[in-house]
Amino acid sequence: MLIEFFSPYVRFFHGAAYSLHQTLDGLGLSSTGFIEKTADGSLVGGFAPGQAVLPALAALILLSLCAIPGVLFAGYILGRKKGLAFVALALLAPGFLSVSGVLPDFNLTPSKYNVGGTGSLGSAFGFMPLTVLGVIFGWCLTVILYDTFKLNDRFRHFYDHIWFLAAILTGIFFVADSGSHEDSQELAESSYTSRNASLYLLRQVREYDAYCLESGLTNLASCRWASRVQQQLNDYAAYHHKSYKEFGPHTSRDIYVPTWGHISDEDIIQIRKEIQSYNNKRCPVEQLREGVSRSTAASGFCQQVPAAYCAAFPDPPTGLVDKYIISKTVALASECIVPSLVVFRAQQEKLISTIGNNETDKHYRWLFFIIFSTVVGGKIANSTTRIVDMDNRPGTERQILMSLLYWLVKRIYAGISLVWRLLAWAYYSIRRQSQS
């Protein structure tokens, strides 16, 4: 029966502990990892979320046990014995309902735990018990303070200032969440574009490689580049954005020198000139008059590069290729896509850093809402004190805490005085006996 009685409380705190530890883990303040030494002396490591949440569970239970006298005392302040009985019954109700079989079975622990998951806030069901605890703490603390310091309606108006400011902060957090969502979408779009751009260039490079083999031009620098760069472009197309940030091209040279130990800038210029000659041969541009030209009609070989894949102008030197190559049909769009892949990598690196900060900020906003729940509890307490008309109580019926402390001090003083008199009596009795 005791197990059934305490079961809802344990499940309640267990869900809260999982949610709390998920945020502590995300902030790097705690961890689910462990390293143990086996019997043969070897080390074994792993992750054990179930064991890692136990300290948080113990802390929450201990904190709640310490707060129970305060909650009961707040009930006594509001309604004396009836208020005390009502609050006690409310605290014991889940246990009684569980024993009677009326309370439905519930589970507040998450279905999965994100190890080291910065930005992962756990389930809403795990967040709920923490906010309930915050509301209870804020409620009982405000009731006790209201009675102890003989506060009145002016305090409620002052409290409303805090309440409205907290509401404004909640709106700011909502806007911040919207902004972080837009950053995540922008990163996903950038990653999608860089992958497709790599695939687009890879298909053209393979066609150029086949052209080199058919024409017997494998000794050309651009043909050797086309043969070796395919694996690199294939990797770019498969990389997750975090991998692309690390292993993607920092400069165009990283693509023009895929597996070679070293080539000079002149060699890279030669590769680009040979690719330009290939484009001029397969997709010639007809010069109609000065400043006016016409590209080859789009076909299976000659295509205008999608604008999304051209996020940068061709690399210097100026005049090597047409600056506005995006408007021309080409057979190999390396002049447009290669510098764009560099831009995409830098863009994704910046977005990943921004999103990382946003993910960390989520945990601080989570902590704010936990603190805000205590403010909600205080707001409810202000309404409760108004309901029981505490402002109109005579002074002798307020400051119960001060009266209790005064009573305790008197009892402690009386006890100390009694002990002192007993010790003095024992001392003089022993002294008289020794003199006689």
Q: Mark whether 80 and 30 lie in a shared domain.
A: yes
Q: Mark whether 196 and 309 lie in a shared domain.
A: yes
Q: Is residue 151 a contact partner of residue 382, using CB atoms and an 8 Å limit?
A: no
Question: What pLDDT, on a 0 to 100 scale, did the predictor assign at position 316?
Answer: 92
Residue 191 lies in a domain: yes
Q: What angle do CA 206, 212, 214 make, to 5 degrees?
A: 105
Pick out the chain residues at pLDDT < 70: 33-47, 258-261, 287-293, 436
- Cα–Cα nearest to 25, from 48, 3, 4: 48
Question: What pLDDT, on a 0 to 100 scale, did the predictor assign at position 165?
Answer: 87
Q: Is residue 248 a contact partner of residue 236, using CB atoms and an 8 Å limit?
A: yes
- What CA–CA distance (Å, rounded) separates 172 from 243? 33
Question: What pLDDT, on a 0 to 100 scale, did the predictor assign at position 43?
Answer: 52
Output the CA–CA distances (angstroms, integers) from residue 134 to 11, 128, 137, in the order listed. 17, 10, 5
Q: Mark whether 73 and 95 lie in a shared domain.
A: yes
Q: Mark whether 326 and 257 lie in a shared domain.
A: yes
Number of domains in the chain: 2
Q: Is residue 343 a contact partner of residue 311, using CB atoms and an 8 Å limit?
A: yes
Residue 327 lies in a domain: yes
Q: Mark whether 395 and 326 lie in a shared domain.
A: no
Question: What pLDDT, on a 0 to 100 scale, did the predictor assign at position 112?
Answer: 77
Q: Mark whether 161 and 193 lie in a shared domain.
A: no
Amino acid of residue 205: V
Q: Mark whether 156 and 225 lie in a shared domain.
A: no
Q: Mark whether 239 and 151 lie in a shared domain.
A: no
- What CA–CA distance (Å, rounded) separates 326 from 322? 9
Q: Mark whether 69 and 218 lie in a shared domain.
A: no
Residue 329 lies in a domain: yes
Q: Mark whether 118 and 248 lie in a shared domain.
A: no
- Cα–Cα nearest to 64, from 20, 2, 30: 20
Instruction: Determine which helix (DSSP H) or strand (DSSP E) holds 57, and give its type and residue range.
Output: helix 54-100
Question: What pLDDT, on a 0 to 100 scale, did the predictor assign at position 289?
Answer: 63
First to last CA, the chain: 65
Instruction: Determine which helix (DSSP H) or strand (DSSP E) holds 36, and give its type and residue range.
Output: strand 33-37
Residue 41 lies in a domain: no
Question: What pLDDT, on a 0 to 100 scale, did the predictor assign at position 242?
Answer: 92
Output the CA–CA distances (angstroms, integers) from residue 42 to 32, 33, 38, 39, in the order listed. 20, 17, 5, 7
Question: What pLDDT, on a 0 to 100 scale, did the predictor assign at position 229?
Answer: 93
Domain boundary among 317, 336, 353: 353
- What CA–CA distance (Å, rounded) separates 19 from 49? 11
Question: What pLDDT, on a 0 to 100 scale, did the predictor assign at position 290?
Answer: 61
Residue 168 lies in a domain: yes
DSSP letter at 420? Answer: H
Output the CA–CA distances (angstroms, integers) from residue 328 to 43, 55, 223, 325, in the order listed. 62, 65, 23, 5
Question: What pLDDT, on a 0 to 100 scale, did the predictor assign at position 140?
Answer: 96
- What CA–CA distance (Å, rounded) separates 75 from 53? 32
Question: What pLDDT, on a 0 to 100 scale, did the predictor assign at position 206?
Answer: 96
DSSP letter at 225? Answer: H
Residue 192 lies in a domain: yes
Q: Mark whether 195 and 101 lie in a shared domain.
A: no
Crossing angle of helices 334-387/124-148, nearest 10°? 40
Output the CA–CA distances (angstroms, integers) from residue 239 to 12, 184, 311, 365, in the order listed. 42, 17, 19, 32
Range of the domain at 14: 2-34+46-182+360-401
Residue 418 lies in a domain: no
Characterise 434 by phi-psi region: left (phi > 0), alpha (psi -120 to 50), beta (else). alpha
User: In the beta sheet, which residues pair with residue 329?
Assistant: 304
Residue 89 burial by CB count (10 A; 0-12/13-18/19+): exposed, middle or buried? exposed
Q: Mark whether 203 and 227 lie in a shared domain.
A: yes
Residue 209 lies in a domain: yes
